[in-house]
Amino acid sequence: GSGGFRKRKHDNFPHGQKKEEKENVNPSSPLMTSFKSFQLELDTRHDKYERLVKLSRDITIESKRTIFLLHRFTSAPNGEEILDESEVKLDAVRRKIKQVAQELIGEDMYQFHRAISPGLQEYVEAASFQYFIKTRSLISVEEINKQLIFTAEDREETTNTSSNSQDKQPHTWSLKVTPVDYLLGVADLTGELMRLCISSVGNGDIDTPFELSQFLRQIYDGFTFIGNTGPYEVSKKLYTLKQSLAKVENACYTLKVRGSEIPKHMLADVFSSKTELIDQEEGL
């Protein structure tokens, strides 16, 4: 009838004829050989993509642990030991990034960028957080890329003479952080600096919030120059950056106006309660 389904064209052929056509396919024909090579290439690419996703997840986890460790710097009596331990953790993260660089040898990095981008952003956040604690300044993308150049000597043929060993050239792997990943990592850094501000006040450090406020203003000014002309992810992070700056400025305002009225051990509780109120008003 008119309301029924239209019969598809290939349904007009008998099923027996379809089966005979499949049996008559020559698996060694040039066409089938080409498709098998395409299948092997796609499977290899998908397997590499999954390995990179797992490595990126490991990089993210280890970088977060480094950030959690660095937050103990303000309250720990042995700050140098915390920095040394964080350097060991970052070295372990760089070894994971070295595996990523080895996977991408001979490949276009941008074809696998979505797989490794979250891990690189988290590493930039951890490395820049450690750099700020040490130097009170922002690490550059060039400095980060210098840390991601890896060399390894060729261990084969170790029984050769010293003259032959001098001719060996060390293998070199490198991975460059893209400008977008760097900007997204710096934007996430502002949230960690806001938490550092609150914890510093709780430990009786009154000078750090004012330093952080000035530093965050400079970062915010830099992001406003980009505006909506940059990538979508960067403009989306700008709102969170603005909220972190507002919370730090609110802490500085409270210290300046009511710092003498509130005991130092209660300042962190006051800031935390005000932060919760701000988040509720903004619907966060």
- Separation between Cα atoms, residue 176 and residue 113, nearest integer Å: 11
- Please give the distance of CA 21 from its chain centroid, rounded to a whole number: 51
Distance, in Å, from the CA atom of 120 to the CA atom of 181, rounded to the nearest integer, reads 7
Structural domains in the chain plus CATH codes: 39-153+172-177 (1.20.58.190), 178-276 (1.20.58.200)
Maximal C-alpha separation, the chain: 92
pTM of the model: 0.77
Sequence letter at residue 62: E
The region, left, alpha or beta by phi > 0 then psi within -120 to 50, assigned to residue 106 is left
Nearest to 195 by CA among 93, 96, 125: 125
Q: Which residues are annotated as a binding site?
A: 125, 192
Binding residue numbers for Mg(2+): 125, 192
**Contact assessment for residue 82 and residue 73, using Cβ atoms and an 8 Å cutoff:** yes
| CB distance 94 to 70 below 8 Å | no
> pLDDT tens digits, the chain, 284 residues: what are they?
555 555 555 555 555 555 555 566 677 788 788 888 888 888 888 999 999 999 999 999 999 999 999 999 887 778 889 999 999 999 999 999 999 999 999 888 889 999 999 999 999 999 999 999 999 999 999 999 999 998 875 334 434 434 444 444 457 888 999 999 999 999 999 999 999 988 887 777 778 889 999 999 999 999 888 877 777 888 788 888 888 898 888 888 877 876 656 655 565 565 555 555 444 444 43
User: Could you report how far apart the first and last alpha carbons of the chain are, in Å?
Assistant: 57
